[in-house]
Amino acid sequence: MNRQETVQKIFDRQKWVGNSSISKNDIALLLEELNRKSIHLLRRKDMLVRQKTKVDNDLKQTEEEIKCTTARLENIIHDDKQVSISMKKQKSKRYIKGRFWWEGKQRDVQIGSEKTILFLLKNLKKSQIVKGLKIKNGKKINWKIIQADKKLNEAVQTIGRIKATGYILKKVKGEDILHNQSSEVEDPKKNNKNIIIKTSPIVKTNEHINIDWYTEWKDENF
């Protein structure tokens, strides 16, 4: 049934029940307008679905960045990385290595030689970072002693955790976040007088509908 036949059918049915307030021209215009609006809404729906996908992706990425940043803060503030220690030998030199997991990868840090560790332990004891540790003057420390003494072993692990924090600090600094201003969020309270509210672009019904307005809007507002 073509458009003209459809209009005639509707008009005849209304006429049969005594409704003479609607002309065939009115019916034709109403059908045309409803059809146009239907096409417009379908296009708008398609655009909104694409927008939602982009917004969802941005939200997911932001949540992941929040999780990562919070974990980094905890690691750096509390030296909370669990570090396992082991003795390694490189050529004729012996040193203790720390190993830990960070952001999905295994990382290694050099804690130091047995002589260096003795010096570091004295510093930590003096700073009261480690307590209850007895270090006799002139006494040497080796790997066997570290393994046998629980408090000493825990103290060396503490050095390892601090070294792990240093590793994380170096990596984060290497990302140049100190000079990256794009991730900063401005406090709206500071700029209340200068806030400009931008309205969403009007959706066009032609074939050149701009489905990428969200990307442009996001770049301007974030």
CB 124 within 8 A of CB 130: yes
pLDDT tens string 17-65: 888 898 989 999 999 998 899 999 999 999 999 999 999 999 999 999 8
Helix (H) or strand (E) holding 93, with range, is: strand 93-102
Residue 53 half-sphere exposure toward CB, CA atoms < 13 A = 8
Q: Hey, where are the domains in the chain? A: 3-76+194-221, 81-175
Q: Is the pLDDT of residue 149 over 60?
A: yes
Rounded Cα distance, 100 and 120, in Å: 20
Q: How much is the mean pLDDT over the chain?
A: 81
Rounded Cα distance, 214 and 220, in Å: 10
pLDDT at position 219: 54
Tell me the residue length of the chain.
222
pLDDT tens string 61-112: 999 989 999 999 999 998 889 999 999 988 788 899 999 999 999 999 999 9
Among 161, 158, 160, 97, which Cα is nearest to 130's?
158
13: helix, coil or strand? helix
CB 76 within 8 A of CB 94: no
